[in-house]
């Protein structure tokens, strides 16, 4: 049976194709070109949302520095509503295939969650592969932000038992990796929210049924993972906190919310990971969205599909 692209997404993609025309895909392992395209795409997607700060008058932000495991200083940005009540908080890792993205490009995304839920967020400007960090560097950066937030909890009016980690795409993979580190290092974590997460460095074989629809391709995935893993790519030396699909056991991990599109190359790895969590009796909520491609919600934020997903996310965030 053939797949069917959501009609609202199809209309957006058709309009984009008519505006820009066909563009040859980056060569495999050309992370610079893939980064440039990713940055341009994220900048365009950000333009579809109200601009921060003017579009989010109730949300204020402050920037801070945290120190990662190797001593590097990492920028984090704390967003909160003026009337936020003491309680829960979320550490957020942006997307970008491990090689692109930034806190600045996600200002409106994160501020939108805060304005909609009243829950404050800490957005992490983790180092990008391969020029700024490789291997465990990015996941340790996000974990350092989690530790910093726990230490600052009294000042920020946060209950350290009610902190969640969340991310999309590469950031979803990093959030899952942080959940593994939190379990292994005895750090409390209330929930992991994984949006179309990049979990498995072994997702490299094209599926001809999905190929006409994918927004992040198998070659893109090869480039992103190779940039992050370097010489370890394709070997048994990949740490599970870097590629969470490799973790030996999911016992003891935080409750999870997992969301992925039907037409996303991450579909199988996200569903399999959610199934592993559920089989281990970890409270797990899984959403597999029919007709949805990678980053469907950001490509068409006003679509029915995106609005439905955002309602689920707001519900989960508000319940922390």
Active site residue 102: no
Phi, psi of 47 (to 5 degrees): -70, -15
- Strand 73-81 and strand 59-67: the pairing is antiparallel
Cα–Cα distance measured from residue 260 to residue 249, given in angstroms and rounded to the nearest whole number: 22
User: Angle between the 31-47 and 107-117 helix axes, to the nearest 10 degrees?
Assistant: 40
Active site residue 264: yes
Pick the catalytic residue from 169, 200, 220, 303.
169
Exposed, middle or buried, 123 (CB in 10 Å: 0-12/13-18/19+)? buried
End-to-end CA distance of the chain: 39
Query: Among positive and negative, which fits the CA dihedral 95, 98, 99, 104?
Result: positive
Active site residue 107: no
Pick the catalytic residue from 201, 264, 289, 303.
264
Which positions are annotated as active-site residues?
Answer: 169, 264, 294
């Amino acid at each position: 049976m053939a797949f069917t692209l959501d009609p609202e997404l199809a209309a957006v993609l058709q309009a984009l194709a008519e505006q820009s025309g066909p563009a040859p895909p980056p060569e495999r392992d050309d992370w610079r070109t893939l980064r440039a395209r990713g940055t341009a795409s994220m900048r365009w997607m950000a333009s579809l949302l109200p601009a921060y700060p003017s579009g989010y008058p109730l949300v204020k932000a402050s920037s801070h520095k945290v120190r990662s495991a190797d001593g590097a200083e990492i920028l984090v940005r704390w967003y909160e509503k003026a009337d936020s009540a003491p309680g829960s908080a979320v550490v957020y890792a942006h997307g970008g295939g491990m090689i692109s993205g930034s806190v600045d490009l996600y200002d409106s995304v994160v501020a939108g969650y805060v304005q909609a839920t009243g829950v404050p967020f800490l957005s992490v400007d983790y180092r990008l592969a391969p020029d700024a960090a490789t291997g465990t560097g990015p996941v340790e950066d996000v974990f350092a932000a989690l530790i910093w937030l726990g230490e600052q909890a009294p000042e920020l009016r946060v209950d350290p038992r009610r902190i969640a980690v969340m991310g999309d795409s590469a950031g979803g993979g990093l959030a899952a990796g942080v959940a593994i580190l939190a379990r292994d290092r005895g750090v409390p974590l209330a929930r992991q929210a994984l949006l179309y997460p990049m979990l498995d460095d072994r997702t490299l074989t094209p599926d001809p049924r999905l190929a006409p629809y994918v927004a992040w391709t198998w070659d893109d995935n090869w480039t992103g993972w190779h940039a992050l893993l370097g010489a370890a790519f394709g070997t048994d030396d990949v740490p599970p906190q870097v590629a969470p699909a490799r973790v030996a056991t999911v016992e003891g991990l935080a409750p999870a919310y997992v969301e992925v599109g039907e037409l996303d190359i991450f579909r199988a790895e996200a569903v399999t990971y959610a199934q592993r969590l559920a089989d281990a009796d970890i409270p797990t909520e899984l959403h597999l969205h029919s007709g949805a491609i990678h980053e469907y919600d950001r490509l068409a934020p006003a679509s029915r599909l995106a609005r439905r997903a955002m309602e689920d996310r707001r519900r989960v965030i508000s319940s922390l």
